[in-house]
Amino acid sequence: MRKLGHQACVLPMAIRGVDPAMRVAGEAWTVEGHVDRTLDPDLTLLEWTRLLSRAPRGKVLVLQPHTRDIALMGELSAKALAMKGVRGFVVEAPCRDVAEVAALGFPVFAAGATPSDITGRWVAHAFGRPIDIGGVTIASGDFVAGDRDGVVAIPRALAKRVVAETERVMGTEGAVRKAILGGMDPYKAYLKHRKF
């Protein structure tokens, strides 16, 4: 992405899979919300279940909650999204029920864990609009991918070029790896392939 002039693509490193083995990849569906401690508890749960119902099959739900004090994912919500065919969940906030979510295998990438939930405190206010997570702008339809190294966002307009460049780079890196494992000095391998 750097070669294509797009620097802001890596989400904050605090956002990790609740299980390090988790992987997620797919088109983003973005949601934004906010804290409001004056909300009726029933209303917040009604709106949360509506959000879960709206999540499109085959997409990765990417959420900017504007809080890091409240868990925005738990076991029942993860099960509901998995049953709908949602590909995964990425949030700049904690998760709860971490052991259960990890055991489920539904990809959840969150910033930590807390038992504190949304009831009477948080509500979504925007769906499908661009959001910012750690200086990275993500729009619905952009591509997101996450693994144990973190989460990246690729603008839809660059996706084909990024895939082509990634395939080219991986081929070169494979040649460098083969050369080094075959006994070539790393410096000489770099000089030959200009990749490391």
- Would you give the end-to-end CA distance of the chain in angstroms? 16
Q: Please give the helix or strand (H or E) that residue 132 lies within, else none.
A: strand 131-133
Pairwise CA distance, residues 122 & 45, whole Å: 9
Flag the least confident range among 60-74, 105-119, 164-178.
164-178
Tell me the pTM: 0.87
Cα-Cα-Cα-Cα dihedral sign, residues 170, 176, 179, 181: negative
Residue type, 23: R
* Exposure on the CB side of residue 160, measured as CA atoms within 13 A: 1
Question: Sorting pLDDT into bands at 50, 70 and 90, what band is 2?
Answer: low
